Structures are given as C-alpha cells and as structure tokens.
Amino acid sequence: MRLLLLAPPGAGKGTQGERLAAWSGARHIAAGDLLRAEAKAGGLLGREIAAYQARGDLVPDQIVLDVLTPAVTEAAARGGYILDGFPRTLPQATAAAELAARLGVTLDAAVYLHAPEPVLTRRLLDRASQIGRSDDKADVIRHRLQVFAETTRPLVAYYAERGILVTVDADQPPDSVTADIQARLSELSPTRPRRHGSGFRS
Ligand code: AMP
C-alpha cells in the first residue's frame, strides 16, 4: 500500500499514520520526525533545519527531498509507505510523482484530514503542554496553519484532479477517524484482493 496524508498541523496525521502503518504493514514515513532527527544530529544542515522548524516555516524543498528520498525508495521496495507530511508543496508533489515513476510504483490514495481551525489550535496547544515541541507556541501555531492554507492546501486540488483524493473529517475521536479512513480506502478497490482484511491495494 502506498498513500499520503495531507493534513494541517493538529489534524492527527501522526497518530493516523502510525495506525495505518501497523494495520497495513506499510512503513510510516513522517517528514517532520525525519527532519527533527536530522536537526538533532546537528551540523550546519541540522541547524538550518532546526531554524526553519522552530519558526514554523517549511524546510526548503531540496533539503526535504534529500532527507525523504532514501526512506521512500527503501519502503517502496518493501511493504509500501504511509507518507505523513510529505509532500507539502507543489514542487515536492511533482518530485514525489517523478520518484514514484522512477521506482515503478503509483500512489493508491491521498488522504485529506480536515478539521476547523479552532479545533486544530486547541489540540496543538494541548500537545504543547504535554510534549513541548519548539513549534507548539501560539504565534508559531498560527503561522503553521497559515503556511498550510497557503502552500499545502493547493495539493488537495492537485490530488483530486488525479482522482486519488479521499477526504475524511478529522474532528472526531481518533478511533472514528481511523475507521473512516479504512472504510474509504476499502471502497477504492472493492474487487481487488484484500490485504489483512482491509481492502487495500497492495
Ligand atoms: P510536522 O511534524 O509534520 O508538524 O512538521 C514539523 C515541521 O517540519 C514543519 O513545520 C516544517 O518546518 C517541517 N516539515 C515537515 N515536513 C515538511 C515538508 N514536507 N516540507 C517542508 N518542511 C517540512
């Protein structure tokens, strides 16, 4: 199975990505986590990435592609992937499509998780009090939501045009969101062989 999660900050793509990976056997590739690991490793590149993340700005496309491509390539050769937070820009989407074509694979679905902005803000502020990520501060949260609206949301139309967009209401308890995603994905290919009873294309 190969899919991507398209979602504003706070919509629960990390949680859903982990669950879908455990359920399907595909690898959960979380762009933010891989970039945070790179930032933590330090060095010039790490410090540059950390600065973008702390401000809530997107890390430049080329850096993201350099960090993500090996993980995507490896996962494509195994059980597939759940891309969480990648792509986030149109050039990244184009590059991801080119990479998939080079690897001889296609994307089964782009899952768009949506929720009202006040819900997203409240969840991120709750997480801030629990985990304390450097970008979970009120002004940075506002900026990240704006970056999503301006730069990432256009990908919803991009994947709708390609006929693989699945839209799910993320303003529900996590179990209901997972169930909705699974149901919607199962509808995509009712006649194809089922994997782990899921109806996923694999
Ligand atoms: P996330 O963990 O998905 O909320 O991402 C946290 C931060 O990592 C974002 O605010 C960006 O600074 C950076 N980031 C994650 N994914 C991407 C991406 N695909 N392109 C650019 N920056 C990204």
138-159 pLDDT tens trace:
899 999 999 999 999 999 999 9
Average pLDDT, the chain: 92
Beta bridge partners of 6: 112
52 in contact with ligand 1, CB cutoff 6 A: yes
58 in contact with ligand 1, CB cutoff 6 A: yes
9 in contact with ligand 1, CB cutoff 6 A: yes
Residue 119 CA to residue 93 CA, distance in Å, equals: 27
Each residue of 58-83: pLDDT tens digit?
A: 999 999 999 999 999 999 999 899 99
* Residue identifier of the C-alpha nearest atom 14 of ligand 1: 32
Burial class (CB in 10 A: 0-12, 13-18, 19+), 148: buried
Q: Across residues 45-63, what is the average pLDDT? A: 97
Are the CB atoms for 7 and 13 separated by under 8 Å?
yes
Q: Which residue has the higher pLDDT, 190 or 34?
A: 34
The confidence band for 201, taking pLDDT boundaries of 50, 70 and 90, is very low
| Token code pair at residue 105 | 């694979």
1 in contact with ligand 1, CB cutoff 6 A: no
29 in contact with ligand 1, CB cutoff 6 A: no
Ligand 1 centroid vs 178 CA: distance in angstroms?
22
Amino acid sitting at position 183: A
Buried b (16+ CB within 10 A) or exposed e, 46-84: beebbebbeebebbebebbbebbeebbeebbeeebbbbb
Task: Please report the atom of ligand 1 found closest to the CA of residue 57.
Answer: 12
The confidence band for 189, taking pLDDT boundaries of 50, 70 and 90, is low
Q: Find where tokens 């529900």 sit.
A: 172
Residue 129 has what pLDDT? 82
Are the CB atoms for 100 and 92 separated by under 8 Å?
no
Is the confidence at residue 47, as pLDDT, over 60? yes
The single-letter DSSP state of residue 152 is I
144 in contact with ligand 1, CB cutoff 6 A: yes
Is the confidence at residue 169, as pLDDT, over 50? yes
Residue 198 has what pLDDT? 40
Residue 199 has what pLDDT? 41
Is the confidence at residue 196, as pLDDT, over 50? no
Burial class (CB in 10 A: 0-12, 13-18, 19+), 167: middle
* Residue identifier of the C-alpha nearest atom 2 of ligand 1: 32
Each residue of 86-123: pLDDT tens digit?
A: 999 999 999 999 999 999 999 999 999 999 999 999 99
Indicate the SS3 state at residue 109: strand
- Sequence-ordered alpha helix ranges (H) in the chain: 13-24, 31-40, 43-55, 61-76, 90-103, 117-130, 138-147, 154-161, 174-188
Global confidence as pTM: 0.91
Task: Please report the atom of ligand 1 found closest to the CA of residue 56.
Answer: 10
120 in contact with ligand 1, CB cutoff 6 A: no
Task: Please report the atom of ligand 1 found closest to the CA of residue 36.
Answer: 8
Ligand 1 centroid vs 84 CA: distance in angstroms?
10
Q: How far apart are the first and last CA of the chain?
A: 4
